[in-house]
Every structure is written in C-alpha cells, then in structure tokens.
Amino acid sequence: MKSEFYIKNYGKSFFWAGKFLKKEKFLDSAILYAFCRIADDLVDKNNNSKNKIDKFIKEYSSKNSKNIIINKFKKIKEKYNIPEKFIDDLFNGIKLDTKIVKIKSNKELIQYSYYVAGTVGAMMAYILNTTNPKAIKHAIDLGIAMQLTNIARDVTADAKLGRIYLPQNLLSKKIRAKDIANDNFDRSKLFLAIRKIIIMSEKFYKSGNNGIRYLPWSIRYPIFLASALYQRIGVKIISSNLNKYFKSRIYVGFFEKLFITLKTFFIFNFKYLIK
C-alpha cells in the first residue's frame, strides 16, 4: 500500500494543503503521516494494543524490519537528520493511550498533545528544511493546536474507546467515558468544556502561524493553508449547536476547503505577507 493512501484517506486537510508542496516534500510528508497513522491505529483499532505497539516499536528499532512504511520512514529520518528524541516522545505518547486515559489539568493535556502531535510538527519542520530552534518551537505549537482540535472534535468517538481527553478541571463533575458513549450525561456542560479546548487551541495556532516566516518561501503557503483548514474545524465546533455536534462529526467540506484556499491565498499575499 502506498504511503499516500493514509494521508489521502485519513488526513484530508493535510492532503489538500499538501498538493501545494513540491512533489518530493509531499511524498516525504506522506511517509511521516503514514508512519504516525499506523502506530496510532494499533492503539485505536486493535485489542491487546500495548503488545502491538510494543512490537511496532521493537520492529522500528530492528535493523531488519520487514515493515515497508517503517523502512521508508527510516530513510527520510536519515535524509533529514530528524532527531531520535521526537520519535521517542511520539512513542511515549502513543503508549499513554494503551492505559486508562486520565488527564487532570490543562498542563497535562498540552503535554500529551506535544507527545502525539507536537513531535510530528517538529519532524515536519525537518522535512521542510527548517532546523532553527525557534522554528521547531513554533512547529510543535502548530502540532499541539491541531491535536487540541482533534480532541475537541472527537469526544464521542474517543469515549467509545474508553477515553476522555478533556481535563478534569474543565468538567463540572467526574464523568466516565461510558456515560458519554451511552449518551448519559449533561450535554451543555460537556459542550462548554469542548469549546474551552477550542479557545485554548487558538494561541497555539497563532504561534504556529508566527513560525511560518522561518520556512523556505515555497513552503510557507501550504503550511498556512493547512493551519487554516484545521482551525476551521474549531470554528465550526464553536458555532454548532449541541444536537449537531453530538449527532455528526464536524468536518470541512469540499466547497469550504475551496473557499478557505482562496481566502488564505489572499490573506497570505496581500495582508500578512511574510518576508
């Protein structure tokens, strides 16, 4: 299976924005996405996930892995000199999902979001030929912002997997994942916590966008567009009502993507031209 399959079918916003990258960068980015997606799926879609993710990590560490995506990822890791630290942190984050998820505070949520998504942002920065420490920090923040959006969007889906990523300090009382999965909870109070996560994400989007100036010129707009597309999901959550949010998954449709593409192109080139 080609690595582009994963980003095309599971990362539609990234796939859309990625089409504005040069082919080499898009393909290498798709390999990174596929590698992270496969590891994440081992936790989300399989029983005995701890053993499966441990096996995946062991295979990654092996010099003779038969996993095509792992081998492709190792090549781009070497090609761009991606630090092993970010891969180790990614694996640490994924392993957290094999346990009972209990996030007590906003600080813990940001730490978790760094592990599973901020690390990916950092690795993307290396693929995009940006190794300035300030640039890496901004890339991490953009990854965190997108993960916060994911968490806010997927509360019900995560609950069906036995997980609640909303910090306990944002919830009026202790609520169990099975309560959310069975629709046995106060929707208005939970939705208020979800909206707070979206508001929290805004400062990370702002930081991520501020870091675009460190990127090579040809790469700036695609990243700006990817950020805008993902940020739009949060806007739609904020503006949706309870019934719409809890009955259907929030996403950005084709014509919305087209509109945002044109809008961000105008903003990027005429209002916030980054030099």
Kindly report, residue by residue over 47-77, the tens digit of the pLDDT: 667 888 989 999 999 888 888 999 999 999 9
Average pLDDT of every residue of the chain: 89
**Across 81-96, average pLDDT:** 95
Q: Report yes or no on 34 lying in a domain.
A: no
Residue 54 lies in a domain: no
Output the pLDDT for position 2.
Answer: 63
How many domains is the chain partitioned into structurally?
1
Which residues lie closer than 8 Å to 47 by C-beta, 6 or more apart? none
> What is the per-residue pLDDT across 197-210, written as a single tens digit (0 to 9) for each?
999 999 999 999 99
> Residue 59 domain-assigned?
no
* Structural domain contains residue 100: yes
DSSP notation for the chain: --THHHHHHH-HHHHHHHTTS-HHHHHHHHHHHHHHHHHHHHHHS-SSHHHHHHHHHHHHH-TT---HHHHHHHHHHHHHT--HHHHHHHHHHHHHTTS--B--SHHHHHHHHIIIIIHHHHHHHHHTT---HHHHHHHHHHHHHHHHHHHHH-HHHHHHTT-B-S-GGGSSS---HHHHHTT-S-HHHHHHHHHHHHHHHHHHHHHHHHGGGGS-HHHHHHHHHHHHHHHHHHHHHHHS-HHHHHHS-----HHHHHHHHHHHHHIIIIIS---
- 78, part of any domain: no
The whole-number pLDDT of residue 180 equals 86
Rounded to an integer, what distance in angstroms lies between the CA atom of residue 9 and that of residue 165? 24
**pTM for this entry:** 0.93
The answer to the question of residue 261 being in a domain is yes
Q: Is the pLDDT of residue 29 over 60?
A: yes
pLDDT band, residue 46 (cuts 50/70/90): low
Instruction: Identify the domain containing residue 155 by its residue range.
Output: 83-271
Distance CA 245, CA 194 (A): 10
Q: In the predicted model, what is the mean pLDDT of residues 217-226?
A: 92
- Give the pLDDT score at 88: 96
Averaged pLDDT, 184-190: 85
Residue 47 lies inside a defined structural domain of this protein: no
- Altogether, the residues listed in the chain come to a count of 275
For residue 212, pLDDT over 60 is answered with: yes
pLDDT of residue 149: 97
Cα–Cα distance, 123 to 139 (Å, whole number): 9
Q: For residue 72, tell me if it sits in a domain.
A: no
- The whole-number pLDDT of residue 1 equals 56
Q: Output the domain CATH number for residue 191.
A: 1.10.600.10
Q: Tell me the residue type at 188.
A: S
> What is the pLDDT, as a whole number, of residue 181?
85
